[in-house]
Structure formats: C-alpha cells, structure tokens
Amino acid sequence: MDLLKIENLNKKYYNKIALKNINLSLEQGKIYGLLGPNGSGKTTLMKVIAGLHNQTSGNVILNHQALSYKTKADISYMPTENFLYESFKVKDAVKFYTDMYSDFQEANAYKILKEINVDTEFKISKLSSGLVGKLKIALALSRNVDLYMLDEPLNGVDVLSRDVIMDLITRSYSETKTFIISTHLVSEIEKILDSVIFLKDGNVELSGDAEELRLSRELSIEGIYKEVFKNA
C-alpha cells in the first residue's frame, strides 16, 4: 500500500530551483534512503513533506490526503540541526515532547534513554554531539506515527553512536511504519535500507529496491552512489 505519493512536485526559492518535477510512491512498512550530496534537495524535500515549506507546484499525498495540519500529525520529522533548547535538561525535552504530541510514548523514550546511557538530569548544552544525536533519535522514534523522516541522523556523530542510532531505527521498525532517512554516509547505513532514492540537483536521478540494484549492477549502494554523483 502506498503511504506517500508525490506528484510533479516543484519547489523554487525565488528563482532558484530546489526540487524539479519529483514523482515518488512510498510504500508502508519500508525504510527509504534519501541519498545525495549537500545541496541536492534532500532537506527541502523533507521540509515540504513535513509541511514546513510550501511547494511551488505539484501534490504531496499522505494516507490518501493532501498535506494539511491533519497529515502533519502523522509525521515525526527530525531535522538535522540541534533544535532542542540548550537550557533544557534531557527530561525537560522529554516533557516538551509529551506535551507537544499526543502520540508520544514517554515511557518508551525513558526506556531508550536508559538503554543508551543518556542521563536525563543532564543539560542539553552539556551533551556531546553524539549524545545529542542519540537523544534526538530517541525522541523522534518515541512518537507513534505512520511516517518518520530523519534528516542526516548520522552527521557529526562518532562511529559507536552511529551503530546505536541504526540499531534504534531497526528495532523501532514495524510493518505499519515507514522511514525516510537522508544521508550522504551511504556505506554505514545501506544495510538497513529497503529502497533508495538518489537526489541530484533537485531531481530523482535513480530510485529502486536496494537489493535489486546491488544484484543488477553488481555494486554496493555506495558504489552506485559514487557513479551517479561522479560529476556532481
């Protein structure tokens, strides 16, 4: 079943074209990798789906409904920046999420934070970037929604924390949840992806099932990525 359908989507910032005629269908219960170098349009696409930017033209349909304040409630979007208030303690951030989102599973968030050794009494401004990365993921994944969009979850995070983050993603997977994960760290993440979408200059250059692509091209997803973006 299609969870998300994008039709002829265009996005311009003044006269700069950010997304060019994008057409995509995303199925329920799959993990999608949104891959491309910096400036290829990954964040813009996520922000349009999240309803934070308006498209210039085209349709985005989630659960058979055009984007609206209603569909927004079905999406957990994790931006790449540290958007949490620096003066907050970790437990304040959890409280903030509990107050903001009726679907937020507070107990689950505390359980994850305990597992990954994030002290809830700590101030966010005092956390290392690896811990901030893990905290953001724990919060985003503790919502109970149809679509999770994680923008560069591995950026600025050490190798061990990356493993923890990927582990949290695979463990929170269920057949009714769909994930879009943007990254340019392809080799680290490719084994958890079902499908990949390569974005180049705001265009979908290539998309498909990760295993089929490995089979037909006899290359890793990273190898295909390097071919696609060689001249980018």
**Which positions lie near another protein, rule CB under 8 A?**
29-31, 163, 166-167, 170-171, 173, 175, 187, 190-194, 211, 214-215, 218-223
Q: Which is nearer to another protein, 148 or 173 (CB)?
A: 173
Q: Which is nearer to another protein, 3 or 127 (CB)?
A: 3
CB of 9 to another protein, least distance (A): 26
Distance CA 9, CA 20 (A): 7
CB of 226 to another protein, least distance (A): 12
Structure tokens at 128: 């290392």
Q: Are 150 and 176 in contact (CB under 8 A)?
A: no
CB of 173 to another protein, least distance (A): 5
Q: Which is nearer to another protein, 73 or 206 (CB)?
A: 206
Best CA proximity match to 210, nearest among 228, 226, 192, 185: 192
Residue 50 sits at φ, ψ, to 5 deg, of: -75, -10
Q: Which is nearer to another protein, 140 or 213 (CB)?
A: 213
Angle in degrees, 0-180, between the axes of helices 159-172 and 129-141, rounded to the nearest 10 = 0
Best CA proximity match to 138, nearest among 176, 174, 104, 189: 104
CB of 170 to another protein, least distance (A): 6
